[in-house]
Amino acid sequence: MLCRVRELSNTIELAGWDRMDRVLIVDDDLELCALLRERLSTENFITDAVHDGPTGVQKALSQDYSLVVLDLMLPGMGGLDVLRAIRMRSSVPVLILTARGEDVERILGLEIGADDYLPKPFNSRELIARIRAILRRAGRSTLAGEPLAFEDIRLDRAAREVQVGGAPLAMTNAEFAVLDILLQNVGQVVTREQLTESVLGRKLGPFDRVIDVHVSNIRKKLASRQGANHIKAVRGSGYVFVSRAEAR
């Protein structure tokens, strides 16, 4: 009953502040959620917190939120399963919180389609910066721009859609942004630093492999349609998008 009242008050709040971004926190640590909500509210975010997987999926798919902060260490339905369920139906940006040292989970999370990750325990200023960066990019990519086309790949910024050979190809927000940059620079090396800065809105950290996972996801998706590896890695520096002739 109390929850219901709180939700109602949130809705009222939302009506007055529809410019504010709504963030959903999925974490089983109730005290942490309370602290985070308080901290995020000082930065003008409206936050909701849920503490289990199924509710998390349901809320994340409700289209009320511009971003989901998801803890991968959830009891019951694990964070990775929650992410998978969200990604089957929605491309809402997801920032995952992973335990330090659990590198496999982190990589898996990014492969399933998380936008970025933050190791827990985290610095809340860092969390806010990452949320802002992801939201800024998500907002920007919906701005109209002329579609990019290369060979049979077509990227429509206005519709936020990628087509390969006329058929649409599902991409997450982050993957879309990476592909966008690579397609703007066909044949030129785009450094990992550049990609991280413009896609994740932050500096490339040491031993930071988020961009590489996004690139590898795009590669897999393109290869499933074409069987060609369009994106070549340039050792120690970055990636380059090449034509199909060069890809083979």
Residues forming contacts to another protein in the complex (CB under 8 A) are: 29, 31-32, 35-36, 38-39, 42, 99-101, 103-104, 107, 120-125, 206-208, 235-237
Cβ closest to another protein, residue 100 vs residue 136: 100
* Residue given tokens 């409700």 in the structure block: 62
Phi-psi region of 63 (alpha: psi -120 to 50; beta: other; left: phi over 0): left
Q: In this structure, which amino acid lies at residue 49?
A: A
The minimum distance between CB 172 and another protein, in angstroms, equals 23
CA angle 111, 146, 92 (to 5 degrees): 30
Q: Which residues of 78-90 are buried (b: 16+ CB within 10 A; e: fewer)?
A: ebbbbbebbbeeb
Cβ closest to another protein, residue 25 vs residue 155: 25
Cβ closest to another protein, residue 63 vs residue 123: 123
The minimum distance between CB 114 and another protein, in angstroms, equals 17
Cβ closest to another protein, residue 35 vs residue 88: 35
With 0-12 CB in 10 A as exposed, 13-18 as middle and 19+ as buried, what is 5?
exposed
Structure-token pair, residue 116: 């970025």
The minimum distance between CB 96 and another protein, in angstroms, equals 14
The minimum distance between CB 29 and another protein, in angstroms, equals 6
Strand partners, 162: 155, 169
